[in-house]
Every structure is written in structure tokens, then in C-alpha cells.
Amino acid sequence: MTTLLIKGGRVIDPANGIDEISDVLIEDGRIAAIGKKAGKAKTTIDATGLIVCPGLIDMHVHLREPGQEWKEDIESGSRAAVAGGVTSMCCMPNTTPRLDHAGVVRQVIERAKQVGLCDVHPIGAVSRNLEGKELSEMRELVRAGAVAFSDDGMPIWHAGVMRKALEYASSFDFLVIQHAEDLELTAGGCMNEGRISTQLGVSGMPAVGEDDMVSRDIMLAKLVDARYHVAHISTQGAVELVRRAQAEGLKVSTEAAPHHFALTEEELLGFNVDAKMSPPLRTEEDRLAVIEGLRDGTISVIATDHAPHHEDDKRCGLSCAAFGIVGLESLLPVSLGLERDGVLSMSGLIATMTSNPAKLLHLEAGSLSEGAAADVCIFNPGEKWTLDRNKLFSKSRNTPWHGREMTGRVSHTLKGGRVVYQQGEILV
Amino acid sequence: MSAVMQHLFGIAQLSKNQIEHLVNLGESFIELSRRPIKKAPTLRGKTVINLFFENSTRTRTSFEIAGKRLSADVINISASTSATKKGESLLDTGETLAAMQPHVLVIRHSIAGTCEFLADFLPHTSIVNAGDGGHEHPTQILTDLLTLKTQAGGYDGITMTIVGDIAHSRVARSHLLAAQKLGYKVRVVAPKTLLPSHIEQYGCEVFHDFDAAIPGTDALYMLRVQTERLTDNCSFPSIREYHEAYGLNSRRLALAGDNCVVMHPGPMNRGVEIASDVADSVRSHILDQVEHGVAVRMGVLTALCGSAPDPVKRTPRRELEEAAMRAQGKLL
């Protein structure tokens, strides 16, 4: 029997309401006990001064495999994930081929198992080839391992198709995740429409291009009694729409990406392509609205929208640069700002990256319950370090946080009881 | 002028003194183009490359003549003949040309920010922005200021009324910036479909009714209407209605004071944004603008040529990128 003891850390397990200085005993890859005297083990990790929590879940990443392996692949994405404390992630279907056939879904899961660092749960395509016309075989995709559905990167555009997608998915309690973007209003845009886009002389993507889509979808979700999830919410209007829908008792949920609560459109000054993503960085009012949504629970999940791009796709001027930034390795330090600013308690913050997404997606992950797989993240919430894009584990370097001081750093990541990341090194 | 300027990206980077210096420098070159022998040795031994990714006749020719009259070697490259057609990236084209050691690259591109972007990678070349997307067109504004200075009562404290597609106009943006620095007033006139968001941040007056904006105007500045853009994206119902609502005709010109001048950055659409009789009237300074464009560009090339540091060794892209980020304060 292999045993491991994580000793003396502040153990936070939101799923079980635990927040105390304690030991965690792991036996044969599973959580055996949590307590002051949990037991003895062959190996010990001294977690004094550190926080010990369930391995993080990132329910919104782009792994680029199959099809665009020069940007990222399942191995490099998994390395980036565990370096960021993430032990389960959901990959979006806009690969080539798309995740719209069971074979491709199985292939992704299989490859992730071979890599063996991080669980990968594919999000299946809502529509065949992400074209927004015909539905994909959702039941078949779920049998293959898909945990939810989205056409992310593209909205499910036609109201009729969206209605049917919500109706069909909800018949089997599947979750539909919408990339809410009204393409007619955002056409040609490369950043938020507003003060800065006018200064730079570029076309903008107005906030209402997100709001109108969320508004329509909520009405459809109400009509057909479906579970509906807004991906990467970024506007004040959309947060308010979701808040009202939840107050009405609708099964509407949403997630926020760290960049949308940490950065604003000001980052684009100087034509900064590493601050270009969709939905774009918005105004300070929007940023504060996203934070308020996290505070009051309207937004229950933090997810990165990790979107690796090769520098050749970024080094070409703002309006033709690819949308997206990498996020796995900055997820925790950036999000910890919410705790420091008093928006969320440490336990509440960790819940947005563990128990909340697990509940939404019915994942067996995100807790330190006795008998659960020992996926654990150990981090120092106060350690300061400087993010260097040249030292990321991701294959891509497109991050707006290059050269900035981060507070909070993952020291160990455990997957199934095995230490896979420790002090800057991947252990395989 | 205080610090030596390596690049001219836009009006935003310039101080009031720098703008006035460049206008005055341009003024000193007007006379050269009127001589029988239009040649001065100022830029002998200097190489200027005009790299134009968008169609342009007047701006490109203007830069070419400006360089040649000052004895620089001027090379023109347009997108249709360039390597871009063969799939080369903008950055590779820029680096390739820079490796041939020109003193100045004059660039026009439809992507806003192209010059700033390339400059990070081309530290030994001076870059002049000849128009980047909807962002800036600094030499046009310097030209207009020279025209106002020599053909009208100057630009101090005047009211300039800019009419047309403000949303997509780099000329309008650059004028709005120059107005804030030099203290002239700008009125913008357009329907909401042709105004960008948050235009009021420039401290300009906004009008939808052209007639109401005219009284008190010292310079009527008509923007070129891109006719296909206007109707294709529902910005305007028809050219006919545009001319009726925002075209400058003699009736409207009569609403302005006797000293009001008419300007246009060209090329004009007669009968669309400007009626022929107005374009050809004594109030029109459109051809003066063209003449002054050459003079101002001579001034700009003179100010910039040779201001870039000489190459010591070729630095890898990544190092250049990091250095540029550090210079912009984006790195610790």
C-alpha cells in the first residue's frame, strides 16, 4: 500500500465544509482521512503555511488537439494544467476534426489518460461541425465521455436551432454552454466597442452583442425548461440578466474568466495583441459587475477560457491577431486577488474552481471526501513570483500577464495520489 | 524641437512644439517645388521605401516626390507587387526591407497600429505612418495645418467642421488629437451610423444637422465617402440622400462666414460629399493641400532621416519584443 501524508496545511474542502489546519492521509491514490492525527505514511509533504484543497477544475479550455498541435496538445495542456493546480479540465470542441463524433471524444480522453497528468472531460459539439444547423448525436457523445455541450468559439446562432438544442439536451439533463455573441453586432470587431476602440481606430464589439444573446437564450431556456450556462460572461448587462433569471428560479448558470474580473479594455492601449480575446476585455464598470456577480453567487464558476495561439497568429497587428490568451498557469494567482480584496472567502473562492463546476457537470472530482480520488492542489497564497511567458508549460506564450508580479503559487499538484507537479517541476 | 524623433506614428505622440516645428519645416520647403530646378541635396545618400498595402495615388506620389526632390533614393512597393501576395507575413516583409538598410520606411496599411507594431522589430529604421486603418494619418494633418497657416488666418482658435464618415476616418481622429494640442475647435457632423462610440472624449461638438454646424465655422473639412461602404452596411440609405443631408453645396457654403475655407483630403467624390461648384470655387483649398502635402513630407523626411541608430548587430525577434515591452512599461 502506498501512503502519503500532507501535514500541517490549512485544508479547505468546500464540498464538505472543511476549513482547518489539518493533515490529509492518502492511501492507494484515494483520500483516506482528514484530521489532526490522520495517521502515518511512508512519504510526507510538509504543508505548513500552505493551503491544501481539491485539485482545481477548469471547465473551459481549448487544448487544440486534434488539429492544431503546434499551438497546444493534450500533453502540453496537461502540463500547464497541473502547473496551475488543475487536475480536471473540460476541453472545448472546436478542434479539427470537431468533437462532434464519439470517436474523436474517445480519442481525446484516451490521449489524456496516456499522458496521465490531468483528467480531460470533453465538451461535445452542440451542432455538427459547429455549423449551427443540425444537432450532433448528444447521447452518443455522452456515452463516449462528453460532459456538456457547446459550440464555443461560435455562438449557437439561430434561435430555432438553440431552442431545439436546449429542448433535446434538457430531455436528458445535458447542460448547454453558450458562447454568447451576436455575430452581426460584433462583425469585424477586435476589442470592446467604446472609448479605447475609438482611440485606436479599430472596430469594436459592443457589450450588447453579448447581452442580446444571453437575453434570448434565457427566454428560450425558460420556455423549454432547460439547463443553460453562459460561458465567459463579461458584461454588466449579461450578469444582471443571469441574476434575474436565477431569481426567477430558472436553471441558468454562468462562469467568469480571470481576465474579465482582473483586466479592462485599457490593456489594449498600444495595440496589445495579448489582451485580445472574445469576449473582449470590457470597461471598469463591467469588470466590477463581474466581481459583484462572483460575490453574490450569480457567477458560480471561474474558468480560464485557456486559448493557446502560436505567436505567428498573434504577431500581425491587433485587428488580424487571433482571439484568446492562455490561462491555466495564471488561474489561481489571478483569482486569489478576489480573496485578498474581500470579494470571496478563501473557501468560497476555491469552491468556484472545485465543488461548483463539479456539481454543474456532475463530475466525480473537486472534493477531498473520504474515498475520493486524491486529486489535490497545495499552494502558498502569499508567495510572490513574476510570470514569464517563456517559462510556461503551455506551448503558447500569449498571456497578458507576462512580466507581472503574481501573488500565490502552486507548490504541489497531486493526481490520484501521485505528485505530478512540485515546485516548478513536472514529475512523470 | 526637443528630443530627436525616430518615428512618426501619429499626432498622439507629438507635442504642440513638435507639431508646429514640423509645420514650419514644411513651410520652408514650399518654395523648392516652385523652382525651375526642383532639387536639393538635403537627403543625398538616404534611402526611403514607400511600402503601401492600400491603394493610394496622392499620398504615395507625394512621399515619392518629396524624397526625390531632396535627392533621396526612393523605392515604391505596393501590395499588388509585393511578397504579401505570396503569403509572406507583414512582419517578414518589414524585416526583409529593413535588412536592406533603408533610412525610412513609409507605411500605409489597413490595420490600425501597423507602424507601432513593426517599429518594435525594426529598431534601426525610421517609420512614417502614411495612414493605418482608422487610426492616424499624421502627415495629412500637418499638411492641413500648413494650408490653414498660409492660405487662411492660421489655425489658432479656429473652428473646423469635419463632415462625413468620422467612424472610419483616420484623418478625423488625427485632427481631433491635433485640435486638443493646438487649441483649435472641432465640430464633427455625421449621422450616428457614421460616428464612433465615445466621440465626445475628444472634447468636440457633435452635430447630426449639417446646416446647424456651419455658422461660426472657419474651415469646412469634407471627408471622402467610401460609397460602397456607405450603403453595404446600412450606414446610409443612398448616395442621393447622403448628398442632400451632408453634401457641401453652395447654399450651405453661403451659411458660413466669408472667410471660411473648404478643405478635403482627397480623392473627392464630386456630387457626393462636395458639389462641383464648391470644389472649384475660390474658397476651396483642396489643391493647396496637395501642394503642401509634398512640402510637409519633405519636412518629415528631413526630420527623421538618419535619426535611427545604426545597426550594430541583428537582434533576434524575441529579444526585440521583450525590449519593446520593457520600454512600454509592460514588464517589471
For residue A196, what is the enclosing H or E element? helix A195-200
Q: Do A320 and B111 touch (CB under 8 A)?
A: yes
Q: What percent of chain A has pLDDT over 70?
A: 100
Contacts of B109 in chain A (CB under 8 A): 317
| Neighbouring residues of B31: CB distance < 8 A, sequence distance ≥ 6 | none
Range of the domain at A253: 55-361
Q: Based on the domain organization, do A221 and A340 belong to the same domain? A: yes
Would you state the pLDDT for residue B85? 64
Last residue of a domain, one of B250, B265, B284: B284
Do B85 and B162 lie in a common domain? Answer: no
User: What kind and span of H or E run contains A24?
Assistant: strand A18-27
How far A197 CA sits from the closest chain B CA (Å)?
Answer: 8
With b for 16 or more beta-carbon neighbours within 10 A and e for fewer, the A53-80 pattern comes to: bbbbbbbbbbbbbbebeebbbbbbbbbb
Q: Which residues of B touch A203 (CB under 8 A)?
A: 134
Query: B290: Cβ–Cβ under 8 A, 6 or more apart, which residues?
Result: B58, B62, B266
In terms of domains, do B126 and B20 share one?
A: yes
Q: 0.90 cut: is pTM over it?
A: yes
8 A C-beta contact, residue B272 and residue B242: yes
At B116, give phi and psi (nearest 5°). -60, -40
Evaluate whether residue B112 is within a structural domain: yes
Domain match, A28 and A119 both: no
Write phi, then psi, for B142 (nearest 5 degrees): -60, -40
Cell numbers describing residue A158 = 439561430
Instruction: State the sign of the Cα–Cα–Cα–Cα dihedral A14, A19, A21, A23.
Output: negative
Is residue A268 over pLDDT 60?
yes
A399: nearest CA in chain B? B330
Helix A208-224 to helix A159-171 angle (10° resolution) is: 50
Q: What's the CATH number where B304 sits?
A: 3.40.50.1370
Number of A–B residue contacts, CB under 8 Å = 79
B132 and B202 in a single domain? The answer is no
Residue A39, pLDDT above cutoff 90: no
Q: In terms of pLDDT, which residue wins out, A15 or B2?
A: A15
- Contact at CB, B197 and A197, closer than 8 angstroms: yes
Given this model, what pLDDT does residue A40 score?
A: 85
Domain assignment present for B192: yes
Same domain, B130 and B65: yes
Distances (CA, A) of A173 to A231, A255, B165, B191: 18, 19, 50, 49
CB contact under 8 A, A402 and B330: yes
In a shared domain, residues A12 and A71: no
Nearest CB neighbour to A318, from listed B112, B170, B199: B112
pLDDT at residue number B81: 58
Which of B134, B199, B332 has its CB closest to that of A405? Answer: B332
B124, B157: one domain: no
Q: Are residues A243 and A209 in the same domain?
A: yes
Complex-level ipTM? 0.93
Nearest to A202 among B91, B133, B325 (CB): B133
- Between vectors from CA B254 to CA B248 and to CA B257, what angle results, nearest 5°? 110
Same domain, B158 and B277: yes
**DSSP β-ladder status, B219-222 and A376-386:** unpaired
Burial of B103 from C-beta contacts in 10 A (0-12 / 13-18 / 19+): buried
How distant is the alpha carbon of residue B327 from its chain centre? Answer: 26
Rg, C-alpha atoms of chain A: 20
Average pLDDT, chain A: 97
User: Given an 8 Å threshold on Cβ–Cβ distance, is A272 in contact with B330?
Assistant: yes
One domain, residues A27 and A62? no
Extract the C-alpha cell encoding A94.
472546436
Q: Say yes or no for a CB contact (<8 Å) between A318 and B111.
A: yes
Residues of chain B with pLDDT under 50: 1-2
Q: Is the same domain home to A228 and A120?
A: yes
User: Whole domain around residue B127: which residue ranges?
Assistant: 11-137+293-327
Q: CB-side exposure of A61: number of CA atoms within 13 Å?
A: 35
- Chain B's closest residue to A311, CA to CA, is B318
**Buried (b) or exposed (e) across A265-276, using 16+ Cβ within 10 A?**
bebbebbbbbbb
DSSP string, B18-83: HHHHHHHHHHHHTGGGGSSS----TTTT-EEEEEESS--SHHHHHHHHHHHHTT-EEEEEETTTSG
Question: Which residues in chain B are closer than 8 Å to A386, comparing Cβ atoms?
Answer: 332
Cell of A7: 501535514
Looking at the 3D structure of chain B, how many domains does it have? 2
To which residue does cell 479656429 refer?
A: B158
pLDDT in tens, A180-222: 999 999 999 999 999 999 999 999 999 999 999 999 999 999 9
Task: Answer whether residue A125 is part of any domain.
Answer: yes
Any B CB within 8 A of A386 CB: yes
Q: Tell whether B256 and B312 lie within a shared domain.
A: no
* CATH number where A13 lies: 2.30.40.10
The Cα A174–Cα A228 span in angstroms is: 9
User: Are A123 and A58 within 8 A, CB to CB?
Assistant: no
**Could you tell me if B16 and B128 lie in one domain?**
yes
Count, in order, helices (H) and strands (E) of chain B.
13, 9
Domain assignment present for residue A201? The answer is yes
Both B184 and B118 in a single domain?
no
Amino acid occupying residue B10? G
Has residue B59 been placed in a domain?
A: yes
- My answer on whether A71 and A191 are in the same domain is yes
Nearest Cα to Cα of residue A328 among A71, A53, A83, A73: A83
The interaxial angle of helices B286-304 and B16-29, nearest 10 deg, is 110
A19 and A150 share a domain? no
Q: Are residues B187 and B304 in the same domain?
A: no
Q: Kindly state whether residue A396 falls inside one of the protein's structural domains.
A: no
Touching check for A316 and chain B: CB below 8 Å?
Answer: yes
Entry field: residues in chain B: 332
In a domain, B229, yes or no: yes
Clarify whether residues A415 and A295 are in a common domain.
no
Whether residue B190 lies inside any domain: the answer is yes
Report the candidate in B299, B323, B298 with the shortest Cα–Cα distance to residue B124.
B323
Testing the interface with B: which of A196, A199, A388 to mutate, by most B Cβ within 10 A?
A199
**Taking each helix axis from N to C terminus, what angle separates B286-304 and B138-151, rounded to the nearest 10 degrees?**
120
Q: Is residue A114 part of a domain?
A: yes
For residues B216 and B160, what is the distance between their CA atoms, to the nearest angstrom?
A: 9
> Which stretches of chain B sit within 8 Å of chain A by CB?
89-91, 109, 111-114, 116-117, 132-136, 170, 173, 196-199, 201, 318, 325-326, 328, 330-332
CA distance A53 to chain B (A): 31
Local structure of A288: helix, strand or coil: helix
A215 touches chain B (CB under 8 A): no
Interface contact A201-B136, CB threshold 8 A: yes
Asked if B317 and B244 sit in the same domain, the reply is: no
- Enumerate residues 6+ apart whose C-beta is below 8 A from B21: B1, B303
Is the Cα dihedral A48, A49, A50, A51 positive or negative?
A: positive
Q: Which residues of A are catalytic?
A: 305
C-beta of residue B74 within 8 angstroms of C-beta of residue B48: yes
The three cell numbers of residue A206 are: 459592443
Q: Is residue B332 in a domain?
A: no
The alpha carbon of residue A100 is apart from the nearest alpha carbon of chain B, in Å, by 32
Over the stretch A346-362, which tens digit does the pLDDT of each residue have? 999 999 999 999 999 99
User: Are residue A22 and residue A127 in the same domain, yes or no?
Assistant: no
| Total domains in the fold of chain A | 2
Report if residue B148 sits inside a domain: no
State whether A131 and A233 are in the same domain.
yes
Q: How far apart are alpha carbons B90 and B125 in whole angstroms?
A: 16
Give start and end residues of each alpha helix (H) in B152-222. Answer: 170-182, 210-213
Q: Tell me the chain A residues in contact with residue B198 when contact means C-beta distances shorter than 8 Å.
A: 194-195, 198
- Whether B247 and B321 map to the same domain: the answer is no
Q: Which amino acid is at A208?
A: V
CA torsion sign for B138, B142, B143, B145 is positive
> With left for phi above 0 and alpha for psi between -120 and 50, is residue A14 left, alpha or beta?
alpha
B133 closest CB neighbour out of A198, A272, A319: A319
The DSSP code for A403 is: T
Based on the fold, state whether residues A327 and A247 are members of the same structural domain: yes
Structural domain contains residue B69: yes
pLDDT digit string (tens) for A112-139? 999 999 999 999 999 999 999 999 999 9
Q: Measuring CA to CA, which residue among A419, A413, A428 is closest to residue A87?
A: A413
